[in-house]
């Protein structure tokens, strides 16, 4: 009896195995096609000799039987610089054969690209495709990348007067330093990409003069995307920034954009007898992980410019002489992608010492603000700290919009005190409609509130975007003049 049950069990088990094998038999039905998570992969600009980040797609078999992919092939072989990894395997000669996918299963294909030098200044379009042959069906995923030659600086110090022509981009690793008494001139349209933690260190002089239609750009070197619609450039902290280290340095920035680093401009000058000279005009400083400008004992003028969205202060000034005219200082920092928010520091900080409670070092300061807007996500965006009580701390605000508790001082006049509900800008958040936009709306409270006598002066009569401030004969507060509908 027991033997009978055993025989019956073996018959049933064998039947199951046979049926299972039948169910798992490879289908050659030409109607069984594969599905792909993407029909194309596009890489943003890839620097020559520097490999891209890795992207990829998934191949699905939604059919009820397994299939065998006869071949997965990179169409142009290695000639375009694309590389693929199929389900963990690097194919020899850019082709792999007889790849099985079970029913309702999938496999991953990862792709990267390394671009050979293109020997030209402009980006070169590269195209290729990955072709899959299954049961006689030919299916493909298109590949595209732009290759760009760059000039690479690694831990380089400039010992002679040097000009960067801007014919092709520059990629900086570690640092690019300007030696004492030497000048680096950067021509309009130049782009400087900085790798993680890289800096521009100025002991000598910098002259970066762009143009309205050919701005100079300082930014990180990640050109890919965090998500499909989110470029890495939206993340702060991707490079260090500019460090001014010379007590007698001269820095000129005109029509320049700096974004997404740690501190945009850090002026470090312990001397009280000499100060670097910094002139900044038509410049946009945005999205920094610490400060926009952190200055210790400098002579600095800033006009027709924007400093926005810094995790700490947009302006942190400790000693020195400062003049600010027609600027937009707006701090709505909220790095939702990295989970970082503001650290609670006001947008503008004025200090007359080194802020060391135990051993304060006096640093006399004078700061003048005219036709400026200072605002942000906090109810009080200005801190004036007189920590020594016997060190000069001079300041004035005239024809400004200030998000602050009212400050009673004879040096503050014609000021609009801000309210969080005030309508000022086109967009002070980042959302589905786009990135921050600190141009004015038609209803903005900043319109027609600037001191026209100041706006008439040649240095200030054109705004950040080269719009004439007096076209309505009533200039607006801030870096941007409303330009009409």
Question: Domain of 109: which CATH number?
Answer: 2.60.40.10
Mean pLDDT of 25-42: 92
Mean pLDDT of 335-359: 83
In a domain, 369, yes or no: yes
Q: The tokens of 309 are what?
A: 């969205």
State the pLDDT at residue 432. Answer: 60
What's the whole-number mean pLDDT along residues 298-315?
98
Task: Spell out the residues 6+ positions from residue 118 whose beta carbon is closer than 8 angstroms to its own.
Answer: 48, 124, 147, 148, 149
Mean local confidence (pLDDT), 339-359: 84
Q: Grade residue 359 by pLDDT with cuts at 50, 70 and 90.
A: low
Residues 128 and 76 in one domain: yes
pTM above 0.75, yes or no: yes
Same domain, 366 and 218: yes
Does 161 lie in the same domain as 123?
no
Residue with tokens 């960067």, as numbered in its chain: 164
CB 469 within 8 A of CB 481: yes
266 and 357 fall within a common domain:
yes
Predicted local distance difference test score (pLDDT) of residue 356: 64
Give tens-digit pLDDT for 146-194. 999 999 999 999 999 999 998 999 999 999 999 999 999 999 999 999 9
Any domain includes 451 = yes
480 in any annotated domain = no
Over residues 52-92, the pLDDT tens digits come to: 999 999 999 999 999 999 999 999 987 899 999 999 999 98
Are residues 214 and 312 located together in one domain of the fold? yes
| Overall average pLDDT of the 104-130 stretch | 93
Q: Please report where in the chains the tokens 């589905």 appear, as a residue.
A: 432
Where do we find the tokens 């900086």?
A: 172
Q: What is the pLDDT of residues 193-237, one digit of tens each?
A: 999 999 999 999 999 999 999 999 999 999 988 877 788 888 999
CA distance 316 to 325: 17
Find the domain containing 372 and state its range: 150-455
* pLDDT for residue 24: 62
Torsional sign, CA 480, 213, 243, 45: positive
Judge if 264 and 388 occupy the same domain: yes
How many domains in the chain? 2
Residue 26: inside a domain: no
- pLDDT-based confidence at 434, cuts 50/70/90? low
With respect to residue 387, please indicate whether it lies within any of the assigned structural domains: yes
Q: What tokens were used for 375? A: 């605002």
Looking at residue 178, what is its pLDDT? Answer: 99
d(CA 135, CA 163): 60
CA-based torsion, 79, 123, 165, 50: positive or negative: negative
The answer to whether residue 66 sits within a structural domain is yes
Q: Is the pLDDT of residue 11 over 70?
A: no
- Work out the pLDDT band at 433, boundaries 50, 70, 90: low
- How far, in Å, are 73, 198, 262, 297, 315 from residue 285 at the CA level? 46, 17, 11, 20, 11
In a domain, 343, yes or no: yes
Residue that terminates a domain, selected from 147, 163, 187: 147
User: Contact at 8 Å (CB) between 24 and 66?
Assistant: yes
Share of the chain above pLDDT 90, in %: 77
CB 206 within 8 A of CB 251: yes
Q: pLDDT confidence of 2, banded at 50, 70, 90?
A: very low
Count Cα neighbours of 484 within 13 Å in the Cβ-side half-sphere: 7
Same domain flag for 190 and 114? no
pLDDT value for 38: 96
Based on the fold, state whether residues 118 and 221 are members of the same structural domain.
no
Tokens of residue 343, six digits? 């650290």
**With 60 as the cut, is the pLDDT of residue 482 above it?**
yes
Looking at residue 100, what is its pLDDT? 95
Domain boundary among 84, 112, 147: 147
User: In this structure, are 105 and 158 located in the same domain?
Assistant: no
Buried b (16+ CB within 10 A) or exposed e, 167-206: ebbbbbbbbbbbbeebbbbbbbbbbbbbbeebbbbbbbbb
Query: Are residues 78 and 199 both part of a single domain?
Result: no
Percent with pLDDT over 70 in the chain: 93
User: Mean per-residue pLDDT for 449-471?
Assistant: 96
Which range (58-62, 231-235, 257-261, 449-453) has the least confidence? 231-235
pLDDT at 22 exceeding the cut of 80: no
Q: How confident is the model at residue 354 (pLDDT cuts 50, 70, 90)?
A: confident
Q: Which of 114, 132, 147 is the last residue of a domain?
A: 147
Contact 420, 332 (CB under 8 A): no
**Choice among 18-27, 73-82, 332-341 with the minimum mean pLDDT:** 18-27
278 or 434, greater pLDDT: 278
Residue 5: which H helix or E strand, with range? helix 2-23
Lowest mean pLDDT among 20-29, 168-177, 196-205, 313-322: 20-29
Mean pLDDT of 286-306: 97
387 and 431 in a common domain? yes
Output the domain CATH number for residue 237.
2.160.20
Same domain membership, residue 450 and residue 317: yes
Query: What confidence score (pLDDT) does residue 172 get?
Result: 98
Nearest to 427 by CA among 304, 299, 341, 334: 334
The answer to whether residue 418 is domain-embedded is yes
Residue 416 has a CB neighbour count (10 Å cut-off) of 16
Residue 7 has what pLDDT? 43
Report the DSSP pairing between strands 425-427 and 437-440: antiparallel
């Amino acid at each position: 009896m027991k033997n009978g049950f055993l025989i019956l069990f073996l018959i049933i088990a064998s039947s199951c195995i046979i049926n299972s094998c039948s169910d798992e038999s490879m289908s050659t039905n030409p109607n069984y096609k594969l599905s792909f998570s993407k029909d194309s992969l596009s890489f943003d600009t890839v620097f020559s000799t520097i490999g891209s980040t890795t992207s990829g797609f998934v191949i699905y078999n939604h059919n009820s039987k397994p299939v065998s992919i006869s071949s997965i092939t990179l169409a142009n072989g290695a000639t375009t610089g694309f590389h693929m990894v199929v389900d963990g395997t690097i194919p020899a000669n850019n082709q792999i054969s007889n790849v099985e996918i079970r029913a309702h299963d999938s496999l991953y294909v990862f792709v990267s690209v390394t671009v050979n030098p293109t020997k030209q200044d402009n980006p070169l379009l590269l195209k290729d495709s990955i072709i899959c042959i299954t049961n006689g069906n030919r299916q493909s995923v298109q590949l595209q990348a732009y290759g760009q030659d760059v000039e690479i600086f690694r831990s380089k110090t400039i010992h002679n007067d040097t000009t960067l022509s801007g014919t092709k981009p520059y990629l900086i690793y570690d640092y690019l330093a300007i030696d004492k008494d030497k000048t680096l001139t950067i021509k309009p349209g130049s782009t400087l990409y900085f790798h993680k933690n890289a800096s521009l260190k100025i002991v000598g002089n910098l002259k970066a003069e762009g143009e309205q239609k050919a701005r100079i750009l300082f930014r990180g070197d990640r050109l890919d995307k965090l998500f499909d619609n989110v470029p890495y450039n939206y993340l702060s902290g991707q490079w260090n920034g500019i460090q001014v280290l010379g007590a007698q340095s001269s820095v000129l920035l005109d029509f320049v954009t700096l974004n997404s680093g740690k501190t945009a401009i850090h002026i470090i000058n312990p001397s009280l007898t000499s100060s670097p000279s910094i002139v900044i005009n038509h410049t946009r400083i945005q999205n920094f992980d610490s400060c926009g400008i952190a200055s210790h004992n400098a002579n600095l003028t800033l006009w027709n410019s924007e400093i926005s969205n810094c995790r700490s202060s947009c302006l942190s000034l400790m000693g020195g002489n400062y003049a600010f005219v027609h600027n937009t200082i707006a701090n709505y920092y909220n790095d939702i992608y990295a989970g970082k928010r503001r650290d609670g520091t006001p947008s503008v900080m004025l200090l007359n010492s080194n802020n060391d409670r135990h051993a304060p070092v006096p640093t006399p300061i004078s700061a003048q603000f005219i036709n400026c807007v200072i605002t942000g996500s906090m109810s009080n965006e200005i801190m004036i700290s007189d920590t020594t009580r016997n060190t000069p701390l001079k300041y004035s605000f005239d024809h400004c919009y200030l998000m602050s508790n009212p400050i009673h001082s004879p040096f503050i006049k014609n000021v609009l005190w801000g309210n969080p509900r005030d309508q000022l800008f086109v967009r002070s958040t980042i959302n589905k409609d786009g990135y921050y936009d600190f141009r004015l709306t038609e209803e903005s409270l900043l319109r027609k509130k600037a001191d026209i006598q100041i706006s008439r002066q040649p240095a200030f009569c054109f705004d950040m975007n080269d719009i004439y401030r007096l076209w309505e004969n009533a200039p607006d507060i801030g870096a941007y003049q409303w330009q009409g509908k």
